[in-house]
């Protein structure tokens, strides 16, 4: 009787040790809340998740955004340490002159971003998300400046990215809108996006002059493009967080969905916080 109990106790002990070892191995494969991001923000992307404020052509009109990308885990799968993040932001434009102050706001959320290192300096990114665009101030309709309509897009993204420690970033990818609504459901799902950034000169230890560019091609607007150029100064930190001050020139299709399919040219000077 005693030997039977001892055998049971022995097997229970083995099970507990084995289970604890398995748990430790699993925990070794997971890193929660990493300090740095594999891929930095696309600086010249007008819809990037970051904090920003820009004055439009040095007037009282300005653009702003509030958002961030938050890396919440890294998971080692088959020897590859993948990084998982979520991102969200709201972008809006303010025109203090007249009765309609806040012009529009655009919401972007990436429910899940997966960055996978392929080989040194090369990454692939998968993401899924949603965006919807709205007129913020009903004075725009009352003054017959515009009429609100339904603009929304549910999408999946695939990007190929090169990023090195010297400040060179190159990216290209596609955005597939599996549900696209512009007044009504439409079957024009593709966005193509490419761009990059290069460190032009190191001014001080943590300050560098950089140039960034971004281009988007949208099937929903008969393959119209939006092109952005940005020249600025970056104040870097030890992780992915930094502050930028930059001049930007953007032209092409207006990225505000409530003004679809208008085109626009604007120059801004702004501050950008990559959190």
**Distance in angstroms (rounded) separating the CA atoms of residues 168 and 153:** 31
Reported as a pLDDT band with limits 50, 70 and 90, residue 192 is very high
Instruction: Give the SS3 label for residue 14.
Output: helix
**Reduced to 3 states, what is the DSSP secondary structure of residue 10?**
helix
Nearest-5° angle of CA 102, CA 231, CA 259?
A: 30
Residue with tokens 């009282």: 60
Average pLDDT of 231-251?
88
The neighbouring-strand residues paired with 3 are none
C-beta of residue 172 within 8 angstroms of C-beta of residue 158: no
Q: Are 244 and 232 a contacting pair, CB within 8 Å?
A: yes
pLDDT digits (tens, 9 = 90+) for 85-144: 999 999 999 887 766 688 889 999 999 999 999 988 999 999 999 999 998 877 777 777
| 79: Cα within 13 Å, side-chain hemisphere | 2
CA dist., res. 68 & res. 40, Å (int): 11
Q: Does domain 33-274 have CATH number 2.40.160.40?
A: yes
228 closest CA partner among 181, 258, 270, 185: 270
Structure tokens at 255: 């990225």
The predicted-structure confidence for 31-57, as pLDDT tens digits, reads as follows 888 888 899 999 999 999 999 999 998
pLDDT at 166: 84
User: Which residues fall within 8 angstroms of residue 216, CB to CB, at 6 or more apart?
Assistant: 191, 192, 193, 225, 226, 253, 255
The residue count of the chain comes to 275
* Residue extents of the structural domains in the chain: 1-30, 33-274
């Amino acid at each position: 009787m005693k030997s039977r109990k001892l055998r049971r106790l022995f097997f229970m002990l083995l099970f507990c040790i084995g289970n604890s070892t398995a748990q430790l191995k699993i925990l070794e494969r997971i890193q929660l809340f990493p300090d740095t991001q594999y891929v930095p923000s696309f600086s010249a992307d007008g819809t990037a998740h970051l904090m920003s404020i820009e004055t439009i052509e040095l007037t009282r009109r300005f653009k702003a955004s509030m958002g961030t990308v938050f890396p919440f885990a890294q998971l080692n799968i088959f020897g590859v340490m993948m990084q998982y993040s979520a991102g969200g932001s709201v972008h809006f434009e303010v025109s203090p002159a007249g009765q309609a102050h806040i012009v529009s706001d655009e919401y972007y959320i990436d429910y899940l971003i997966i960055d996978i290192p392929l080989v040194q300096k090369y990454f692939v990114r998968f993401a899924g998300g949603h965006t919807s665009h709205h007129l913020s101030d009903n004075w725009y309709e009352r003054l017959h400046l515009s009429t609100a309509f339904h603009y929304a897009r549910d999408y999946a993204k695939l990007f190929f990215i090169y990023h090195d420690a010297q400040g060179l970033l190159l990216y290209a990818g596609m955005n597939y809108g599996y549900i696209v609504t512009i007044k009504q459901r439409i079957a024009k799902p593709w966005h193509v996006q490419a761009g990059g950034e290069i460190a032009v000169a190191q001014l001080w230890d943590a300050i560098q002059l950089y140039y960034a560019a971004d281009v988007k091609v949208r099937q929903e607007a008969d393959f119209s493009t939006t092109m952005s150029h940005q020249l600025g100064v970056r104040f870097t930190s030890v992780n992915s967080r930094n502050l930028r001050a930059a001049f930007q020139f953007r032209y092409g299709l207006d990225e505000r969905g409530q003004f679809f399919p208008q085109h626009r040219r604007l120059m801004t000077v702004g501050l950008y916080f990559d959190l």
